[in-house]
C-alpha cells in the first residue's frame, strides 16, 4: 500500500488491531489466535485423512446486521458436532451448533460439506471473539479463532469496501491469478465493517472437472478477510454451473447463508441495512440478455463422472437462465425500494449486482438492455443513489443518470437505428470538488478488478464524436453456431451507442478496490458517502501489493431524519 496515496487506510496488520481489544478466555484456549494461525494449521489437517476440521471460513450478515451474524465454513468430511463458541469482552461464552448443508457436484461427483451457525441476540457495534471446532477437528487442541464486529444501531459512521471478479491465487485454474490473494489482503488493510463481492467469485464453471477444488481454493483465500468481517456476495454468470440446481447455483447457495427475501428463490437476492444505508443485492442473470454462464465449447461433449448419473452435455450447450424468476425478483425489488423511499430512517440506497447497465469497455462484455428495461426505471423512481457492479474487468464511473434517450444506438452490423434506452446523464462534466447530489441521478460504478487473470479492458472512442463508444446487448444472446472447437464464444453485443454517461475510466490497470466511508451527518444537515478508488498499477503484468489512490468522489445530500 502506497502510504502517500492512502492516508485513510487502517493499520496494515489486522491482528494488531484485534490484540488491542483484549482477549476473551475460552476454556482450554490461551486467548485469541489470529486468522493466519488458523490457515497454517489448516494445511496440516488437509494432509491427513479427511475429517471435520473447519476451513473456508466466512461471515455474512443475518436478519439484522446490528444483532445477527452467520458463520459458515466447510470441511473435507462430515463434521461431528460442529459448533461455534463466542462472546464479547467481559461477557459470557455461548455455543451455537452448526447446521450441515451438503451437495454433490453434478459434474465430478464430489460431495461438499458445509456448516452454518447463526449467532443471534448480539449487541450492536460490539466486537465478538469466536472459535470453531468439531469432535473430529484435527486442530481441536488449538481451534480456529477470530473476531468480528456487529453493525451499529441507528445512524452512525461506517466503512465498507467492494470489488467483483476475484478468482483464486492458484494459477492451475482458468482465469485465476496471484493478484486475488493481494486483493483479499488489501480489504484487511482498510478494515471495513463488511465487504461487497460483486459476482464471479471463483470461476469454477470454467474448470468443470474441478469445480469443488476451485471453490475450496477461493474459500481458503478469502478466509483471510471473510473470517473477520462479513463478505456479502451476489451471484454472477460464473456461479452458474451445469447439473448443480435449476439455476446452476447450488454450489453458491450451499456455501452462503444470506438474508431471507421472502420469495421461493432464497439466496439469489436480498437486502440489509446498516446505519441509514439500505443495501440491495440482485441476481442480474435473471434479467440480462447476454449469455455468459456455463457453456460447452467442444469439440467433445462434457461427460460427468459416472457416479453422478448425469448424461453428457453436448457441445454448443449453454446454461441460459434469463427470466428464471418469472418477474418475482423485479416485483420484490420494487416493493423493497418503495418501502425504503418511505422510510425516513433510510438516507441512501446502494444496489449491488454483477452485470452492467453502463459500460464503455471496448474489449469487455458490454452494457445490457435487459437491466435498463427491468431495473433502471425503478432506480429512477425510488431514488437509488449508487449501483456497484463487476463483470467488466476494469474501473469505470458514470455521471449521475436519470431517464434515457430513445433510438440513440445503431445496429452493430447494419448501422440502422436501435433503441438501446441510452441512460441520460444529468451532468456532462465533473464538478471541481467531485461532489454529487444523487437525489438527481444514480451513479454506476464498475468494480471488476478483484483478481482474475483476464487482461485489461480497452476503451475505444467514436472518432466522429470523441465520446467513448459502448457495446449493448438488446436481444437474447446465445453461443455462436459453428464456433471454433475449444473456444468459449457467444454472439457479441448487437448494438452500439455513444457512452455519454461515462465520466471516468482507469486505462492503466484492471485491478482495484473501492473504499466507501459513510457519514450520517447531523439532524438538519447533510449526509455523505465518500468513495475512494485504489488501483494496483502494473498488476496486469506482475502481481503487486501496492494499491494507490486513483480518484475520490463524494456523494452528498440532505439527511432525511
Task: Classify residue 439 as left (phi > 0), alpha (psi -120 to 50) or beta.
Answer: alpha
Q: Taking a C-beta distance cutoff of 8 angstroms, is the pair 96, 118 a contact?
A: yes
Q: pLDDT tens-digit profile of 291-345?
A: 888 888 778 899 999 999 999 998 888 889 999 999 999 999 999 999 999 999 9
Q: Mean pLDDT, to the nearest integer, of 268-296?
A: 95
Q: Which residue has the higher pLDDT, 21 or 197?
A: 197
Q: Mean pLDDT, to the nearest integer, of 358-374?
A: 94
Q: Which of 94, 120, 149 is the last residue of a domain?
A: 149
Binning pLDDT at 50, 70 and 90, where does residue 19 land? very low
- Residue 33 has what pLDDT? 29
Binning pLDDT at 50, 70 and 90, where does residue 484 land? low
Phi and psi at residue 206, in whole multiples of 5°?
-85, 0
- Residue 117 has what pLDDT? 98
> Which one, of 177, 112, 130, lies nearest residue 35 by Cα?
130
Residues whose CB falls within 8 Å of the CB of residue 285, separated by 6 or more in sequence, listed in order: 235, 236, 237, 240, 247, 293, 321, 322, 324, 354, 355
Per-residue pLDDT at 220 exceeds 90: yes
Q: Which residue has the higher pLDDT, 299 or 39?
A: 299
Q: Rounded distance, CA 160 to CA 198, Å?
A: 13
Q: Taking a C-beta distance cutoff of 8 angstroms, is the pair 320, 478 a contact?
A: yes
**Ranges 49-63, 84-98, 128-142, 461-475: which has the least confidence:** 461-475
Is the same domain home to 388 and 507? Answer: yes
Is the same domain home to 91 and 166? Answer: no
Quickly tell me which residue has 471516468 as its cell.
Answer: 504
Is the same domain home to 370 and 438? Answer: yes
Helix (H) or strand (E) holding 87: strand 83-88
Is the same domain home to 288 and 393? Answer: yes
Q: How many domains does the chain have?
A: 2
Is the same domain home to 452 and 515? Answer: yes
Binning pLDDT at 50, 70 and 90, where does residue 462 land? low
> 21 lies in which domain range?
3-149
Quickly tell me which residue has 469439440 as its cell.
Answer: 299
Q: Rounded distance, CA 23 to CA 15, Å?
A: 12
Helix (H) or strand (E) holding 340: helix 328-342
Is the same domain home to 426 and 549? Answer: yes
Count of CB atoms within 10 A of residue 94's CB?
Answer: 15
Is the same domain home to 136 and 215? Answer: no
Is the same domain home to 111 and 194? Answer: no
| Cell of residue 507, nine digits | 486505462
Q: Taking a C-beta distance cutoff of 8 angstroms, is the pair 151, 65 a contact?
A: yes
Share of the chain above pLDDT 70, in %: 89
Q: Taking a C-beta distance cutoff of 8 angstroms, is the pair 448, 165 a contact?
A: yes
Helix or strand or coil: residue 213?
Answer: helix
Pairing of strands 461-462, 422-425: unpaired
Per-residue pLDDT at 22 exceeds 90: no
Pairing of strands 386-389, 231-233: unpaired
Is the same domain home to 22 and 144? Answer: yes
Helices 35-47, 211-226: axis angle to 10 degrees equals 150
Is the same domain home to 173 and 222? Answer: yes
Is the same domain home to 434 and 504? Answer: yes
- Residue 408 has what pLDDT? 96
Task: Classify residue 167 as left (phi > 0), alpha (psi -120 to 50) or beta.
Answer: left
CATH of the domain at 125: 2.60.40.380
Pairing of strands 144-149, 127-133: antiparallel
Is the same domain home to 139 and 175? Answer: no
Binning pLDDT at 50, 70 and 90, where does residue 492 land? confident
Q: pLDDT tens-digit profile of 109-122?
A: 999 999 999 999 99
Q: Which of 97, 125, 149 is the last residue of a domain?
A: 149
Task: Classify residue 503 as left (phi > 0), alpha (psi -120 to 50) or beta.
Answer: alpha
Alpha helices in 137-227 (DSSP H): 179-190, 211-226
- Residue 130 has what pLDDT? 98
Q: Taking a C-beta distance cutoff of 8 angstroms, is the pair 351, 387 a contact?
A: yes
Q: Which of 122, 149, 176 is the last residue of a domain?
A: 149
Pairing of strands 94-97, 144-149: unpaired
Q: Rounded distance, CA 197 to CA 111, Å?
A: 25
**Ranges 16-25, 111-120, 426-435: which has the least confidence:** 16-25
Residues whose CB falls within 8 Å of the CB of residue 317, separated by 6 or more in sequence, listed in order: 295, 296, 302
Per-residue pLDDT at 174 exceeds 50: yes
CATH of the domain at 382: 3.60.21.10
Q: Mean pLDDT, to the nearest integer, of 72-84?
A: 98
Amino acid at each position: 500500500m502506497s502510504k502517500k496515496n492512502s492516508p485513510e487506510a487502517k493499520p496494515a496488520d489486522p491482528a494488531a488491531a484485534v490484540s488491542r481489544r483484549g482477549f476473551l478466555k475460552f476454556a482450554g484456549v490461551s486467548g485469541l489466535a489470529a486468522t493466519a494461525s488458523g490457515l497454517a494449521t489448516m494445511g496440516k489437517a488437509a494432509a491427513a485423512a479427511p475429517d471435520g476440521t473447519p476451513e473456508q471460513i466466512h461471515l455474512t450478515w443475518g436478519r439484522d446486521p446490528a444483532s445477527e451474524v452467520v458463520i459458515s465454513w466447510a470441511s473435507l468430511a462430515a463434521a461431528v458436532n460442529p459448533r461455534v463458541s463466542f462472546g464479547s469482552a467481559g461477557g459470557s461464552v455461548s455455543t451455537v451448533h452448526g447446521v450441515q448443508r451438503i451437495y454433490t457436484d453434478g459434474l465430478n461427483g464430489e460431495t461438499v460439506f458445509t456448516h452454518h451457525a447463526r449467532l443471534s441476540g448480539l449487541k450492536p457495534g460490539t466486537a465478538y471473539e469466536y472459535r470453531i471446532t468439531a469432535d473430529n477437528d484435527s486442530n481441536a487442541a488449538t481451534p480456529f479463532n477470530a473476531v468480528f464486529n456487529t453493525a451499529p444501531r441507528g445512524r452512525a459512521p461506517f466503512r465498507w469496501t467492494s470489488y467483483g471478479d476475484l478468482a483464486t491465487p492458484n494459477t492451475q485454474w482458468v482465469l485465476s491469478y496471484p493478484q486475488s490473494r493481494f486483493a483479499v489482503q488489501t480489504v484487511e488493510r482498510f478494515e471495513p465493517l463488511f465487504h461487497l463481492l460483486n459476482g464471479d467469485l471463483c470461476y469454477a464453471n470454467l474448470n468443470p472437472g474441478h469445480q469443488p477444488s476451485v471453490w475450496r481454493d477461493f474459500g481458503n483465500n478469502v478466509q483471510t478477510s471473510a473470517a473477520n468481517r462479513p463478505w456479502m456476495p451476489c451471484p454472477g454468470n460464473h456461479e452458474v454451473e451445469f447439473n448443480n440446481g435449476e439455476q446452476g447455483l447450488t454450489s453458491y447457495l450451499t456455501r452462503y447463508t444470506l438474508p431471507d427475501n421472502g420469495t421461493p428463490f432464497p439466496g439469489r437476492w436480498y437486502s440489509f441495512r446498516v446505519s441509514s444505508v439500505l443495501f440491495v443485492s440482485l441476481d442480474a442473470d435473471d434479467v440480462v440478455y447476454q449469455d455468459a454462464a456455463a457453456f460447452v465449447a467442444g469439440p467433445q461433449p462434457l461427460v460427468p463422472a459416472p457416479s453422478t448419473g448425469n448424461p453428457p452435455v453436448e457441445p454448443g450447450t449453454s446454461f441460459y437462465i434469463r427470466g428464471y424468476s418469472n418477474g418475482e425478483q423485479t416485483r420484490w425489488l420494487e416493493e423493497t425500494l418503495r418501502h425504503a423511499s418511505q422510510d425516513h430512517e433510510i438516507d441512501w440506497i446502494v444496489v449491488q449486482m454483477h452485470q452492467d447497465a453502463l459500460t464503455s469497455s471496448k474489449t469487455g462484455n458490454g452494457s445490457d438492455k435487459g437491466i435498463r428495461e427491468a431495473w433502471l426505471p425503478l432506480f429512477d423512481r425510488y431514488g437509488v443513489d449508487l449501483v456497484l457492479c463487476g463483470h467488466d474487468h476494469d474501473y469505470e464511473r458514470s455521471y449521475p443518470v436519470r431517464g434515457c434517450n430513445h433510438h440513440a444506438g445503431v445496429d452493430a452490423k447494419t448501422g440502422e437505428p436501435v433503441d438501446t434506452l441510452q441512460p441520460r446523464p444529468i451532468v456532462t462534466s465533473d464538478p471541481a470538488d467531485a461532489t454529487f447530489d444523487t437525489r438527481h441521478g444514480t451513479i454506476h460504478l464498475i468494480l471488476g478488478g478483484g483478481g482474475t487473470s483476464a487482461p485489461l479492458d480497452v476503451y475505444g472512442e467514436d472518432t466522429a464524436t470523441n465520446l467513448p463508444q459502448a457495446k449493448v446487448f438488446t436481444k437474447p444472446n446465445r453461443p455462436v453456431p459453428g464456433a471454433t472447437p475449444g473456444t468459449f464464444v457467444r454472439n457479441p453485443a448487437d448494438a452500439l451507442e455513444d457512452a455519454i454517461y461515462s465520466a471516468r475510466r482507469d486505462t492503466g490497470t484492471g485491478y482495484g478496490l473501492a473504499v466507501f466511508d459513510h457519514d450520517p451527518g447531523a439532524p438538519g444537515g447533510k449526509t455523505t458517502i465518500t468513495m475512494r478508488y485504489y488501483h494496483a498499477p502494473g498488476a496486469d503484468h506482475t502481481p503487486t501489493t501496492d494499491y494507490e489512490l486513483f480518484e475520490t468522489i463524494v456523494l452528498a445530500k440532505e439527511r432525511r431524519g
